[in-house]
Every structure is written in C-alpha cells, then in structure tokens.
A and B are shown apart, each in its own frame.
Chain A
Amino acid sequence: MRSRRKDPHTASRRVSPTRTRTVVAPDPVTEVRVSLRVNGTPITRPVEVRRTLVDFLREDAGLTGTHIGCEHGVCGACTILLDGQPVRSCLLFAVQVDGAEITTVEALGTPDALSPLQEAFADHHALQCGFCTPGFLMTAHALLRDHANPSDEAIRDALGGHLCRCTGYQPIFDAVRAAASRGTE
C-alpha cells in the first residue's frame, strides 16, 4: 500500500482498490415493465427504455393535457409533478419513474370544476392559445402548495422557467398572485 501524501492543492491521491468484487451491476436492457401512479391511478406498461415520460403520459396513459413544446428542456410546457416536484417530463424517461407518483394537469380540476388557481387564470386572461398553460399551472400549483404567501420575486422566479408566446406573462403573474392572496391552493 502506498503512503499517503497530503498536498491539498495540487496532487492527486491514490488509495487501495476495493479488494472484493462481489457487487455486480444490473444487466442493460432495452425494455422495462414500469409500474407507477398517475394522478392516483396505477398504471403498468412495458416501455422501450428510450421512451420519454411525456410520450408515455400522452400516449400510454392517454393524458394529453401535458404538451410538448421543444423536447430539449427549455420551454417548460411538458412540466408535471414527480413525487410532488415540478420537472420537465421531456427530460425524463418513463423507466426512470417506475414506482413514482406523477401528477399532471388533469388532476387539478375538470372543465366543470376548476381549481381556484385555474379560476384565477381565467379571471386574469392568463391564457390565450392554452398550449403552455398546463406547464405553468403545475409549477404554480406546487409553488402555492409549498408557500402560503410567496413573494413577487419567488413567483417570477418559478415562472421564469416557462415560455409563453401569447400572453406577455403579466396576466399569468397576476393570476398566481391573486390565487396566492386568496390563500386557497
């Protein structure tokens, strides 16, 4: 075994290699059977490992409310909640969410029974074409769930990861601000 030199700024340091090799990585596969819950409903499907979560949700789970805007993680239209946290579903593979809890826009409300946040969006004209809207809703929903009275800056920060081409953003901010002030999310 080599002696250890201590030179915190420049040198690299070697330690002895692991002696046993009883740990073996799983075999690589091309298909996996995933089981997860989407909006509380269990779903089990075989999926190709490269199948993105957003495609799984839209086609395998039949939930088309989550939209694809760019497929490279910039526009935020595909945002869903993974175990309660907003994430871009175009940057996840379905295999990665085996055993997880996914929440999509369909869980927030129905056309006849919108959530208070959704009502606020309608009140403030915070959507026009509606394509980016589900993504914004999921992020805003998580924000208001975790912060009873978020600052203006916190709202802007959260919304900053979403692109909208129609509204000019201020109505969306106003809707989230109003929903927060109502304290009912």
Chain B
Amino acid sequence: MRTNSKSCCLMGTRWFGERVRRTEDPRLLAGAGTFVDDIQPPRLLHAAFYRSPESHARIARVDTTAAKAVPGVVAVFTAQDLPEHLRGPLPRLIPHPTLIHHKTQVALAGEIVHHVGEPVVMVVAENRYIAEDAVDLVDVEFEPLPAVVDLEDAARAGSPTVHEDLDTNIAAHYTQRVGNVEDAFAQARHIFRERLVMDRGASSPIETRGIVATWDDRTRQLTVWDSTQAPIRIRNFLSLLLKLPQHSVRVIAPDIGGGFGPKIMMCYPEEIMLPHAAMVLGRPVKWIEDRREHFVATNHERLQIFDAQIGVDDDGHILGVRVEFLHDAGAYIAYGLIVPIVSSTTLVGPYRIPNYHAEFKAVFTNKTQVSPYRGAGRPHGVFVMERLMDRVALELRLDRAEIRRRNLIPPDAFPYDTGLIYQDAAPLIYDSGNYSLVLSKTLEMIGYADWPARQVKARLDGRTVGLGLAMYVEGTGIGPYEGCRVTVEPSGRVFVATSVGTQGQGHYTIFAQIVADALGVNVRDITVTTGDTGAFAWGTGTFASRAAVVAGNAVALAARAVREKTLAVAAGLLEAAPDDLDLAGGKVFVRGAPARAVTLGKVATAANPLRGTIPQAWEGPGLEATRYFAPPRGTFAAGCHAAVVEIDRGTGALRIDRYVVVHDCGVVINPMIVEGQIRGGVTQGIGNAFYEALVYDEHGQLLTQTFMDYLLPTIAEVPRVEIGHVETPSPLNPLGVKGAGEAGVIPVPAVIASAIDDALGTRITEMPLSHARLLDLVRGAPGVAAAARAGGRTA
C-alpha cells in the first residue's frame, strides 16, 4: 500500500517508489553545497597549466626562468622535474585483447605533445591570477610534426602517425559476429546501405573539473578533493602511482556539478600533478579548470563514421545487418574500447537480427582523448539502426512504426540472447522487456494514427512539419560491483555510506528511500554519504547508468541485513520472536501490541554492550552491515522517443513542437528523479542533434573553445518533454531496477533525423545538424540528392 510520502503513521510509510523531495536540496538551494572550489584550506596555493598550443610537435626547449621570477610564484614543474615513476604513461584502464596499442597520457608532456591542450608545465603560485601571469611567460619552442586530424585519413595506410613508435594509427580492430551475414545478404531480397556520421561533442557540465590536494607530512596523509565520478579508483591509482599505502590516501568527491562521463578518468594529468605538488611543497594546492581549458583538457566523445548495410525480405523482416566503422579515439585511449563496443552492441536494439557483423577500428588522431560521455556509444548504435529502419520503410513503402513492430523481440522471448559480448565482457542477454508495449504507448501519446491528416493540414497552411520515431535498448547496471554500509547509531539516526559518488542524480535521497522502508524510519532521519574513500573504500564509480542498480541493490542488501539484526536483537529486549516484530516510526514493536516497543537507538545500544556476552551468531556488535552487490551481467532498459518538429524553410530554423518519451527502467525508486534524468538527457541529445559541434581545423586547432561557439541548448530550444512509463522489472537484482541515467540522450539524434526526413523527404545521415545544414537540405543540396540515388539494391 502506498501512502502519501509526507505522512508517517504506525503502519509504516512506504518511501520506495514515491516522488520524495530530495534530501540534498535544502543545502544546494541555500548555496551551502560543497563543490571542490568551495574547499579553501589555509595557506592554499593555486596551480595553472601551460598547455600545448600545438596539436603534434616535438618539444625542443622549455624555458621557465621568467615564469619562476614572477613575484608570488612558488614553484614551476616540467616533466624533467618529476620523479622517474611519475614520468611515464599513466594507467591503462580497461584492456582488451584487440587493443594492441593501448597508449595513455602522461602527467606532463616532456618530449612530444599529441594534442592541443596537453599539459606541459605546471605553475604554482599564491593565487590563480599570478599563476596565469606566470604561465604567460613560459617559453616553449616546438618543432611541429604532421597533424593527423581527419578520421578517415588517419585510418588509411601511409598516414602520418600520431605516435612515433607506431607505424599505424589503428589502436584496435575488433569484430563481433552473430550468424553469417554474408550468407544472409546473398539471399536477401533487398539490401540498403548508408554512410552515417556522428561528430565530436563535449559533455560540458556547468562545473568544470577541479582538484584540491593536501599533504600532512607528520601523519603522512594525502587528502584530495576531486570532481571525479570515481573517487575510490582515483584513491587506488594515487596510492599506486605515488607509492603510498591505500589507507594513507583519502579521496573525496564532494558535491559535483554534473559528471556525464568525462569526469571519470584514472587519471587525468592534473589528478597526479596536484597531489605531487602538495607533497613536494608541503602546502595545499588547488586547481580549478577554467572553461577554455575544459574544452581541450577534459575528454571528448562522439565522432564515429559508419558504413552500414541492412538486408531484409519483402515484408521488411531483418535478415542481417553489417556495420564497419571508425571510432575517433583522440591522442590516447586510456579508457579502452568501451565506447565503440557499446556502439556495436547497442546497435541491434529491440530487433531480432539473426545475422550481424560489427567491425570497428579505433583510430588515433591529434585531438583530445575520448572516453564515455552520456550515452557512451549508444547514441551511435541507435542512430545507425534507426536510420536503417527508416530507410527500409521508405524503400519498401511500409509504415515506419509497422516496420519496427514486425521486427521487435516479442514480450515472451526473454531472456533474449543477442549472441554478442557487452562492454562488461559478459554475454549480452536482454533480461526482460516489452518493446511492443513501449512502441504502442509512444504512438498513442504522439498521436501517430492521425498524424498524416495533421501533416496534410499543416502543409496546406504553408507549414513544414514532420514526425520522428526512434527506439532503443540500453544496457545498464553492469558490474563489477558496488557496496554499502548501513549503521544505526545509539541516537537512532541511520547512516548509510556507499561506494558510488553523486553528481546530481539524487543518490542521497533514493538510497535513503530504500533504507527507510527496510528499517521503518523517516527518510529525513537517514544520512547518506557518497564519494568519500574515508567512509567507504571498495567500489567502482558512477557511470553507465549503474548506480541505482548496483549501489542501490547493495544498499538494499545492507539494509535488509541490518533489519534482520535489529529484529534479532530486539527480540531479546521485547521477549518475543523476531517474526512477531515490525519496524515503523523509528521503533521495533510487537505486532498487535504496539505498546511493547523499543526505539531503534535502544536496540543499537543493546547490540553493543559494555559488559556481558553477545552471541557469535550476531557476527559482531552494533546494528551495522556491509554488503556488496555484483550483478552477473547488465540489465536492459528500453524506450521509444517521438517528436514533432517544424522547420522554417527560409532560414533552416528548427522548432521541436512536441517530444514524447516512453521509458522502461524496471522498478522505479523515485519517479521524480527518473523523469529528471530523462529531461536532462533529452536536452543534451537536442544539443547533439542541432547545436553542439566541436570543430577542429586541419592543423588540429579546436575552433570552438568557448560557450559562444560551443552552443548548449537553453530553455528556448527545449520543448516540454512528455513522459510515459512501462515497467518490466529486472530479474537480475533483488529490487528489480534498471538504470535510467542515459536514456534521455540516446535516441535524440535519430528521432530528430527521422522527423526532419518526414518533413522534407530527405535522408539525413549526419549529426549534428545546424541552421545552415538544414537550409542546405531544404534547398536540395547536391549531396542529399546523390545519397538518395546511391547505396542500395533490390534483387
């Protein structure tokens, strides 16, 4: 029975599943949050970096004399100043058998720079103004080397190489196959081919990166505040690289102003340099990335070029799909092949595809390194597959929704093994889902049935409108694991420490909701700590739509264990059997005799006596339990987006009139938070589709390095998103939840392309678009007409 979340009665309030207002909001609203830049220890020094202005060059000479002489400068570091063990390449994060050239970044470039923005010198001064003055005076002589910028050029044999010790720019070449796509194509009645491109983008959280490092020489403790999504892993790498015991290093990810992926990297150069400086100088040191730095110093994502083919029968049933693509890795590939693997495995989507070939090359270029950004390759896979589906519908003159319906994996086919290996190296098996219901609900919400009539009427009114559709399946909740410790203190207050960090996803609240139900306490009486290795030190991080699933279930397991312990201890106090007891209102009471009750605090005290004995069966004193959840593999969310757009044929302006999302992320802990994730994701997706483009010139210079050139959507560009829910619980975890963090962004470029095609009769195969690009399409630019003629055969 669900009751109003604000009421609390003896029957117990159900928090799980409710739109509970967030516990973290009051301090954030009052300006009392603690972001990294808010950490201001005494005697703080400030760092600034001299970053390479060249995209590819040998460093001939570095002269820091003038920089060092600026009053207020305390130290200047070059690669030569670093101890041997900090000069080499930083860790390889996720190896893969096909990742032959697993090149990684260094703390400071000493010999060669491989992308614009790579750090070469670090200046530490009394304040940031002085540090930047000194950076201005750093004098570096470069000998330029050929810049490798264009992705296709970089992949060709004979291209100049990004890495001097390699004779290729191909870091990895990986193929996954299911069935035999060549045979399937030989027999297919229709094969259609497309070249598809999605270009570079940046996550651009409103808070840039930042680090404060302090070193206490007496206790030999290193404390680092870092705007990272993975504080525990940063702690572990710092321990390794700085040769400190793990327990001597504490990493705290306090309030983080948006993560979206690129804030998880072990390690960015600055994450090594700041602690090193603090240890050498004996004073706390802070670095806050400024916005221009952010565009070159924080990882990018999104550029992939696809050659895609689909074979179908006369009724549009998919016989096979074959894709070959290039993935732009940037100058290094520390994070490995996660993004292209996710692209190739997300591509198959909600469809039955009996024969599949996904082959990619990860390619080095002289640009900022690439690592996952919200979606992490899923947007690409969905863009390719959904464009292929629209193409099949167009060519076979079938309805776009019908062609999808015919190919959907039916509701009774789960668990459904796609035959692929996912990014977690586990089999890609869809655990549960109801794709037909997701689709039909979307069609109903957008008014698909009478769309043709509405479109005709609009055209008669001189308006150019279109409706777009796109479906996706999203792998979420992958391992390896996350953990949680729940503690009831003698005061009766409950404390929860988890291994994941938070960047706005409401973890402080949703984890409290889980514990509140288990222990019968008010959500506001629970304090959740995330992202502090001093509080919890085994975990992975917040990424890949997994925190609610993996950490959430660890929370549930720990809470349940504490509940059972509470009942066992209280049974003794109340002289009743544990089965006869209930928890509510912060008390344990005998069912049917509520006067026979004892507070949680009293139970906690009783569980930790000063004298006497405690049963070994308790497995220790106190009301506390630590549990881990290690999912066997990912759990698969799904959804469908639909949009109605209007195009100004004279100016190429695009307006999104309606935007519908139907989303299935299994059981929902807090619907308000899931909807928030979807709205935010859709907005970033709209940016990816029409506004955000990182533009490099042929020398590898990034031309879009400010918010005046890299355009984030504002309120004026974003429609009100209408959200519908479907719920197919996950059988892979006790709570039945699936991840929701990336769903909003994944299909947006595909939906927008589909809508514009419906409006203009085009076939869009590139993202992002823009006013100018859309105007070209309206005016029937030659490129579009050619694409319509080429790339397909009908047997």
Residues of A at the B interface (CB closer than 8 Å) are 48, 50-51, 58-59, 63-72, 74-75, 77, 104-106, 108-112, 114, 118, 121-123, 125, 127-134, 137, 156, 159-173
With A67-B257, A108-B30 known as contacts, the answer to whether A168 contacts B718 (CB < 8 A) is yes
**Residue numbers in A under 8 Å from B610 (CB-CB):** none
> Is there a chain A Cβ closer than 8 Å to B706's Cβ?
yes
- Say which size band chain B's interface belongs to: 35 or more
Residues of B within 8 A of A125 (CB): 22, 672-673, 675-676
Contacts of A58 in B (CB 8 A): 37-38
CA distance A172 to B718 in the complex (A): 12
- The answer to whether A129 touches B714, judged by C-beta atoms less than 8 angstroms apart, is no
Give bound CA distance, A54 to B160, whole Å. 46
B435 within 8 A of A: no
Q: Which residues of B contact A165 (CB under 8 A)?
A: 203-206, 258, 260, 680, 683-684, 712
B1 at the A/B interface (Cβ < 8 Å)?
A: no
Q: Which of B29, B33, B129 contacts A48 (CB 8 A)?
A: B129
Please indicate the chain B residues that have their CB under 8 angstroms from the CB of A108 in the complex.
Answer: 30
What residues of chain B lie closer than 8 Å to A106, measured between beta carbons?
Answer: 30-32
Contact A168 B40 (CB under 8 A): no
Q: List 29 A-B contacts (CB under 8 A).
A: A63-B31, A64-B38, A64-B40, A66-B31, A67-B207, A68-B288, A72-B706, A72-B707, A75-B206, A110-B30, A111-B32, A114-B30, A127-B29, A128-B258, A129-B256, A129-B257, A129-B504, A131-B35, A131-B205, A132-B206, A132-B257, A133-B28, A133-B29, A168-B679, A168-B681, A168-B683, A168-B721, A170-B720, A171-B679
Q: Which residue of B lies closest to A122 (CB)?
A: B25
Please, which residues of chain A bring their CB within 8 A of the CB of B11? none
**A-B interface pairs (CB < 8 A), number:** 176
Q: If the complex has contacts A58-B37, A111-B30, A114-B29, are A169 and B712 also in contact, measured as CB distance less than 8 A?
A: no
Besides A130-B504, A169-B683, A170-B718, 16 other A-B contacts (C-beta < 8 A)? A106-B32, A110-B30, A110-B32, A114-B29, A121-B29, A122-B29, A125-B672, A128-B506, A131-B207, A133-B28, A160-B715, A160-B716, A161-B714, A167-B676, A167-B679, A168-B721
Chain A residues near B683: list those with CB within 8 A: 165, 167-169
Point out the residue from A67, A71, A122, A166 that lies within 8 Å of B35, measured CB to CB: A67
Q: In the bound complex, do residue A109 and residue B676 qualify as a contact, i.e. CB atoms below 8 Å apart?
A: no
- List B residues 474-509 near A (Cβ within 8 Å): 503-506
Write out the residue numbers on chain A whose beta carbons fall within 8 Å of the beta carbon of B744. 168
Asked whether B258 lies within 8 Å of A72 as measured between CB atoms, the reply is: no
Residues on B with beta carbons closer than 8 Å to the beta carbon of A48 = 129
A112 CA to B32 CA in the complex, in Å?
11
Q: Mark B673-712, 1 if CB is under 8 A from A, else 0.
A: 1011011111110000000000000000000001110001
A105 to B27, alpha carbons, bound, how many Å? 11
Residue on A nearest B502 in the bound complex, by CB: A129
Within 8 Å CB of A110, what residues of B?
A: 30, 32
Cα-based distance from A63 to B38 in the complex (angstroms): 9
In the complex the two chains form, what is the Cα distance from A120 to B27 in whole Å? 14
Residues of A within 8 A of B22 (CB): 122, 125
- Taking CB atoms, residues of chain B closer than 8 Å to A167 are 676, 679-680, 683
A171 in complex: contacting residue of B24, B27, B203, B676, CB < 8 Å: B676
B291 at the A interface (CB under 8 A): yes
Q: Which residue of B lies closest to A74 (CB)?
A: B707
The reply to whether A130 and B255 contact each other, CB–CB distance below 8 Å, is yes
Least Cβ–Cβ distance between A21 and chain B, in angstroms: 36
Say whether B718 contacts A127, CB under 8 Å: no
Q: Which residues of B contact A114 (CB under 8 A)?
A: 26, 29-30
Interface of chain B residues 233 through 290 with chain A (CB within 8 A)? 255-258, 260, 288, 290
Mask of B204-215 contacts with A, CB within 8 angstroms, 1/0 = 111110000000
CB-CB contacts of B23-56 with A at 8 A, as 1s and 0s?
0111111111101011010000000000000000
| Secondary structure of the B contact surface, majority rule | loop
Q: Which residue of the partner chain B has the closest CB to A63?
A: B31
Shortest distance from the beta carbon of B664 to any chain A beta carbon, whole Å: 19
- Interface membership of B21, Cβ < 8 A: yes
CA distance A119 to B589 in the complex (A): 35
- Which of A51, A70, A128, A172 meets B505, CB within 8 Å? A128
* Residue of B with least CB distance to A118: B29
Contact B205 A129 (CB under 8 A): yes
Min CB gap A87→B, angstroms: 17
Query: Given that A111-B26, A122-B21, A137-B29 are contacting pairs, would A68 and B37 also be in contact in the complex, using a CB cutoff of 8 Å?
Result: yes
Q: How far is the CA of A14 from the CA of B55 in the complex (A)?
A: 53
Chain A to chain B: the 4 pairs with minimum beta-carbon distance, closest first: A65-B31, A131-B257, A168-B679, A129-B504
Q: Are B676 and A163 in contact (CB under 8 A)?
A: no
> Which chain B residues border A130 with CB–CB below 8 Å?
24-25, 28-29, 33, 255, 257, 504
Considering residues A63, A118, A161, which has the most beta carbons from chain B within 10 angstroms of its beta carbon?
A118
Partner of A71 from the list B206, B291, B672 (CB cut-off 8 Å) is B291
Q: Judge whether A69 and B25 touch: CB under 8 Å.
A: no
Minimal beta-carbon separation of B22 from chain A (angstroms): 7
Query: Which residue of the partner chain B has the closest CB to A134?
Result: B31
Chain B hits for A104, CB < 8 A: 31
Closest chain A residue, CB of each to CB of B679: A168
Question: In the complex, which of the residues B29, B207, B684 contacts A109, with contact meaning CB atoms closer than 8 Å?
Answer: B29
User: Which of B31, B204, B676, B708 counts the most chain A CB atoms within 10 A?
Assistant: B31
| Known contacts A51-B129, A67-B35, A105-B30; A166 and B714 CB within 8 A of each other | no
Q: How far is the CA of A65 from the CA of B26 in the complex (A)?
A: 12
List the B side residues contacting A129 at CB < 8 Å.
Answer: 205-207, 255-258, 503-504
CA distance A118 to B129 in the complex (A): 34
Which residues of chain B (151-191) have a CB below 8 Å from chain A? Answer: none
CB-CB under 8 A from B207, the residues of chain A are 67, 69, 129, 131
Cα A105 to Cα B256 with chains together (Å): 18
Distance of A160 Cα from B673 Cα, bound (Å): 23
Cα of A133 to Cα of B27 in the assembled complex, Å? 11
| Complex contacts, A162 vs chain B, CB 8 Å | 714-715
